[in-house]
Structure 1
């Protein structure tokens, strides 16, 4: 699969014992299947005992040779730390979507990415529907959710409140026929900033996949049409607001902010 105007190639590989699952994934994503120890592609989607990961085959690249490979992990690592010590309902994302007291709105995260913000919202008791249009990112996210559900305990309970749909968000919002979400969360990616949910090494791997969300104004318009109570848009602190109506409120952190478009009070 060629990415970013043919500048990078992507393939699927597996560890011993995971060959059939990798072959099935390659078929589903319409990607070539290669050997992990002698890949031809610049990016590899690798399946092993730890789950699915994305890594670069460039020797000096972040994620190369399995070091720092990007995977979705809701069970351990930074997500576990954030779940336990991240500040609960005091976190900016929680305040932005209206979590307070006993209020737990239904949320649609229309730019799910690696699911980190969605996991925080679900960990605080919200039912969250996640939309992701990029098939490889959606596959990584689904793999992380499956492992979280299999882990049992609190993490499985949180993952049970997260439903992933692989689709184009704008089309999905315009044609929505399910329960109307009270809040829609957006975190679009733009050329002038790094997506705040991704650290630097991940940006190098994900930029060819995700590209830039040049259709963010259309996404915001569709979100405002569908959400019953509010839309919360995550931005870098100094970035301009998305073209369209002005936000009714803002929450600012050290490096990012939320533009909030209120429609109705959450009770």
Structure 2
């Protein structure tokens, strides 16, 4: 995977240096306009994933996290989060990390794993710019990372993969279009569920659209307005 270019003003060189091993850093006075593919732009306040025809790009907005941080919400209930108990959560297919950040806002200790350097950098920038102390972002292949743990490494393992394809004319939102194009839209394969079940102490939570087929036999489901959360008991949990 060739490193993406990260453009930044000279004054921001010290801040963006944290991503230098994963991204190509280039100084510029303004966002470039001649890029034919994706690039990253740090504007002095936030890191954005952009294209030549879209200099605003995408990034995780803090304003989209706070309204969802509810103990009564479907995400929190699926992950076993209550006011009295905040499990450790491993978000192994983090993407832009919105769900993981919601869980961190509720007080959970969250580890987000993302294998694409550009998305990992977006996560890392959000954690630092928003002073999120309850979460960390790792740049790694999640399946190799899990296999290397040798057993349970979290209370709740959370999965938010790309949804299975379906016949639909309407395009997804811009952020989802960018993620699909950037990553090649890898799907969650059923044989990986067993590894997930061995890597959690309590439960595995798989996010799906309401009408998507079930993967295996979840112990129970929690449904929201447009998505559902299939909850599986970890291996060894009665």
TM-score under structure 1 length normalisation: 0.75
Question: Partners of 1:228 and 1:15 in 2: how far apart?
Answer: 45
Aligned length: 229
Partner of 2:55: 65
Retained in 1: the 8 A contact 2:92–2:112?
A: yes
Distance 1:230 1:20, change over 3 A: closer
Alignment match, 2:174: 201
Asked if the contact 2:151/2:199 (under 8 Å) is kept, the reply is no
Structure 1 residues 16 and 111, CA gap change in structure 2 (3 angstroms): same
Aligned-partner Cα distance in 1 for 2:24–2:126 = 20
1:22: how far off? 5.5
Kindly tell me: are residues 178 and 51 of structure 1, through their superposed partners in 2, closer, same or farther at Cα, counting changes over 3 Å?
farther
User: Aligned residue for 2:227?
Assistant: 256
Cα distance 1:260–1:40, how it changes in 2: closer, same or farther (>3 A)?
Answer: same
* Structure 1 gaps, min length 5: 4-9, 59-63, 150-158, 194-198
Aligned to 1:246: 217
| CA RMSD in angstroms, aligned pairs only | 2.7
Task: Map residues 221-236 of structure 1 onto 2, 5 A cutoff.
Answer: 221-236=194-209
Q: Structure 1 or 2: larger strand share?
A: 2
CA distance in 2, matches of 1:34, 1:42: 18
Q: CA deviation at 1:100?
A: 2.7
Alignment of 1:106-255 (within 5 A): 106-149=88-131, 159-176=132-149, 180-192=153-165, 200-242=173-215, 245-255=216-226
Higher helix share: 1
Greater mean deviation of Cα atoms: 177-186 or 99-108: 177-186
In 1, the alpha carbon distance for the partners of 2:134 and 2:152 equals 15
